[in-house]
């Protein structure tokens, strides 16, 4: 039925494109654009519905990663040589690819295919997949993932969310998936064209609490039946795989949901920021899932998953806030008012100094929480404090960044207005990303 509908629509548009009436009405460019985007989107959708997720190997038990052997019982901000190399590579990608593509991606709400390919070439996906399944992951690398998120956030937060969303799903499957789930869903992330995927946690209601979900999972004869609605889901209309949070027996759990299941509908929503991430709504109506769709076994920790998700957003906020600071300092040093740079004014200098103080506090608190999580130590308190600070200060930094540019901060000529809109997301989005 979906193939027939797509063919009928494309046939109609193609017929109009060949018609002389199209030229007389001046609609040729519009029709050709619709035909191109409709064909591309249609085949993306069909590809998502038809991608097979099959178990490629037999794993007797789930693979769990240990803390890095170099971990010590102290807080060390020094990156290893390998982490420094990864940071440098991602920073180059952010500077050369993300930053130049950000403005257009914000307008078109599209992740450029060339950028996606460049990100794949970095090979970061292999760090999320265990060695026995073809990746290179042998230990927890949360600090490395934090460094990557921070560097991408510096380039552009919306594009960073779009790039990291599939990687976040792979991280979650590696951390908590059963052996069968890992063998079925992780190998495709090593492919040249890795599947688009997303964590669906948020729900549309005031004061949303991820521990109190309205989306429900009810046991059925074949497994589980899911009902509910998720909002602010990255790559919502393109994802082939979702990890959906739902309440089961009074407790929140995650369920693996393939995009082709009957009862799933998606809608791309308007958003203030993160436009390149294609945030949307995922609706589940009596979606029937097998028993193996329930993520993990007895070791699954939903509260820990939420905090790791929040730390991912904190890392993005640190990167994007640093981009604001890096932009406003040269601007204030070269903007002349009353015969001298505005940075010579005490009020401006103090505001910039405060930006740096707040940024360093955000980074240190985030690093502290991530370091504890990587070492396998309790980190919920530190993660909560880091998220509260980053949610508050990222909005303040975005606001002051616009303020320092004056009237220019209100225009799209400068990227700070976009960063201001993106930074406001840190306060209220839970899920979508995961270290």
Instruction: Give the Å distances, CA to CA, from 268 to 48, 203, 418.
Output: 16, 15, 20
pLDDT(16) > 60: no
With respect to residue 110, please indicate whether it lies within any of the assigned structural domains: no
Q: Return d(Cα 227, Cα 170) in angstroms, integer.
A: 24
Task: Print the domain residue range for 29.
Answer: 2-50
With respect to residue 33, please indicate whether it lies within any of the assigned structural domains: yes
With respect to residue 278, please indicate whether it lies within any of the assigned structural domains: yes
Strands 280-290 and 264-268: what pairing? antiparallel
pLDDT of residue 35: 44
pLDDT of residue 414: 92
CB atoms within 10 A of CB 101: 20
Q: How many residues does the chain have?
A: 435
pLDDT: is 244 or 411 the higher one?
244
Averaging pLDDT over each range in 56-65, 173-182, 356-365, which range is the top one?
A: 356-365
With respect to residue 124, please indicate whether it lies within any of the assigned structural domains: no
The answer to whether the beta carbons of residues 374 and 143 sit under 8 Å apart is: yes
153 three-state secondary structure:
helix
With respect to residue 31, please indicate whether it lies within any of the assigned structural domains: yes
State the sign of the Cα–Cα–Cα–Cα dihedral 309, 311, 312, 316. positive
Give the mean pLDDT of 266-290. Answer: 93
Residues 6+ apart with CB under 8 A from 15: none
Question: Token digits for 186?
Answer: 């992780």
User: What pTM value is reported for the model?
Assistant: 0.84
pLDDT(251) > 80: yes
With respect to residue 160, please indicate whether it lies within any of the assigned structural domains: no
Number of compact structural domains in the chain? 2
pLDDT: is 150 or 51 the higher one?
150
Domain boundary among 293, 318, 344: 293
With respect to residue 132, please indicate whether it lies within any of the assigned structural domains: no
pLDDT of residue 15: 53
With respect to residue 395, please indicate whether it lies within any of the assigned structural domains: no
45 — pLDDT class (breaks 50, 70, 90): very low
H or E element, residue 277: none
pLDDT(203) > 80: yes
With CA atoms as reference, report the closest residue to 435 among 313, 347, 336. Answer: 313
For residue 264, give the CATH number of its domain: 2.40.110.10
pLDDT of residue 318: 97
pLDDT of residue 36: 39
Residues 6+ apart with CB under 8 A from 90: 122, 124, 147, 148, 151, 152
DSSP codes joined into one string, 343-398 = GGSHHHHHHHHHHHHHHHHHHHHHHHHHHHHHTT---HHHHHHHHHHHHHHHHHHH
pLDDT of residue 149: 96
pLDDT of residue 238: 92
Domain boundary among 268, 293, 318: 293
Domain boundary among 259, 293, 327: 293
H or E element, residue 229: strand 223-233
Least-confidence region, from 188-197, 227-236, 237-246: 188-197
């Amino acid at each position: 039925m979906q193939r027939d509908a797509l063919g009928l629509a494309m046939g109609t548009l193609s017929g109009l494109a060949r018609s002389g009436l199209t030229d007389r009405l001046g609609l040729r460019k519009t029709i050709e654009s619709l035909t191109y985007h409709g064909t591309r989107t249609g085949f993306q959708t069909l590809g998502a519905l038809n991608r097979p997720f099959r178990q490629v190997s037999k794993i007797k038990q789930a693979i769990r990663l240990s803390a890095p052997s170099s971990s010590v019982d102290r807080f060390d901000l020094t990156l290893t040589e390998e982490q420094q190399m990864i940071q440098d590579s991602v920073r180059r990608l952010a500077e050369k690819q993300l930053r130049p593509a950000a403005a257009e991606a914000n307008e078109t709400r599209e992740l450029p295919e060339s950028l996606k390919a460049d990100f794949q070439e970095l090979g970061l996906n292999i760090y999320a997949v265990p060695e026995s399944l073809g990746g290179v992951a042998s230990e927890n690398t949360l600090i490395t993932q934090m460094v990557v998120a921070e560097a991408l956030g510096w380039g552009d937060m919306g594009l960073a969310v779009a790039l990291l969303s599939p990687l976040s799903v792979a991280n979650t499957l590696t951390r908590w998936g059963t052996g069968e789930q890992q063998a079925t869903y992780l190998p495709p992330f090593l492919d040249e064209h890795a599947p688009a995927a997303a964590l669906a946690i948020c729900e549309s209601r005031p004061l949303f609490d991820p521990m109190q979900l309205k989306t429900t999972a009810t046991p059925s004869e074949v497994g589980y039946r899911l009902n509910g609605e998720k909002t602010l889901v990255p790559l919502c209309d393109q994802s082939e795989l979702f990890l959906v949070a739902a309440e089961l027996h009074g407790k929140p759990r995650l369920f693996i949901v393939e995009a082709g299941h009957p009862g799933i509908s998606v809608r791309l929503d308007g958003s203030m920021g993160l436009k390149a991430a294609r945030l949307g709504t995922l609706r589940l109506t009596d979606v029937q899932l097998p028993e193996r769709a329930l993520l993990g076994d007895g070791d699954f920790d939903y509260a820990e998953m939420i905090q790791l998700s929040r730390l991912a957003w904190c890392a993005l906020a640190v990167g994007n806030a640093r981009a604001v600071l890096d932009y406003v300092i040269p601007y204030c040093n070269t903007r002349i008012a009353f015969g001298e740079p505005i940075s010579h004014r005490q009020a401006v200098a103090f505001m910039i100094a405060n930006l740096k103080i707040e940024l360093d506090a955000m980074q240190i608190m985030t690093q502290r929480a991530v370091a504890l999580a990587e070492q396998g130590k309790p980190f919920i308190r530190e993660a909560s404090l880091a998220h509260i600070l980053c949610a508050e200060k990222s909005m303040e930094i975005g606001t002051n960044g616009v303020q320092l540019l004056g009237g220019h901060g209100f225009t799209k000529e400068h990227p700070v207005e976009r960063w201001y809109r993106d930074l406001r997301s840190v306060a209220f989005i839970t899920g979508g990303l995961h270290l």
